[in-house]
Structure 1
Amino acid sequence: MTFARPMIMIYTDDLHRLADFYTEVFGFHQKWRWPQEPEPAELIQLVHGEDQVWLSLPNDPLHGRQPVTSGEHEASFVLCLETDDVDRTVDRLRADGLPVLYGPADHPSGERLAYVADPDGRPVMLYHEITSGGADTRTE
């Protein structure tokens, strides 16, 4: 079980306002968004060198707060980790006693993902790319 490319996904009701803020103030640039069309976007990936931040609508069915909220408080962000096999990783973490909050499930953007909870109940998203076609709209 390997993990790579840690990133934070921040929930916001106005993706473009927050993307403009990180772009103008901190020098990030938009690398990817889903879907490309029509508006509104549900996910935006911002990068700064090797680092990345993802912005998500709080009501996106797989990346939003609803499937990943645990404990008494809604999550305002999620730590996301890429793994080589989401299903096998979730099976192992479940066997180790970690609560599985959602999935594994396929997302139309071409990711397989799941959410587990850390010891304080915060969600951690595990994902890997399942397709190289489909809705990939990278703007490099």
Structure 2
Amino acid sequence: MELGYVILYVEDLDASIAFYRDVVGLPYKFTDAGYAEFGTDGTKFALYERRRAEWLTGRAVAPGPAAEIVLVVDDVDACAARLSSAGVAVLSGPADRPWGHRTLHIADPDGFVVEFAQEIPRARSRRT
């Protein structure tokens, strides 16, 4: 099985496109019928207008930050500096995590948490 897409249902598609393109820095690909897609390696990342979700899912989709997007980057501290200089509020970090990531958290226009994660040496081992 392969994870093909991650799609967030958003309130304001234009605001969310601007956030992920201009603030986060994801390469924007296209918009079509309430759907916007970004250029990411592997799994596709996209946005879909929440108001259109009932047509797709058969029921309304409730708003709320019930998801976290994790973007793996080379330098979390450089991301933090870039985001701070752009006036983006940082929720947490940068901070070293024992599972082997240095992380930074911000929120998108719908309240979804966006984590930037840099791989670092693990401070604890996994149970098997």
> Which TM class, normalised by the smaller chain length?
0.3 to 0.5
Query: Which has the greater radius of gyration?
Result: 2
- The answer to which structure, 1 or 2, has the higher relative contact order (CA under 8 A, 6+ apart) is 1
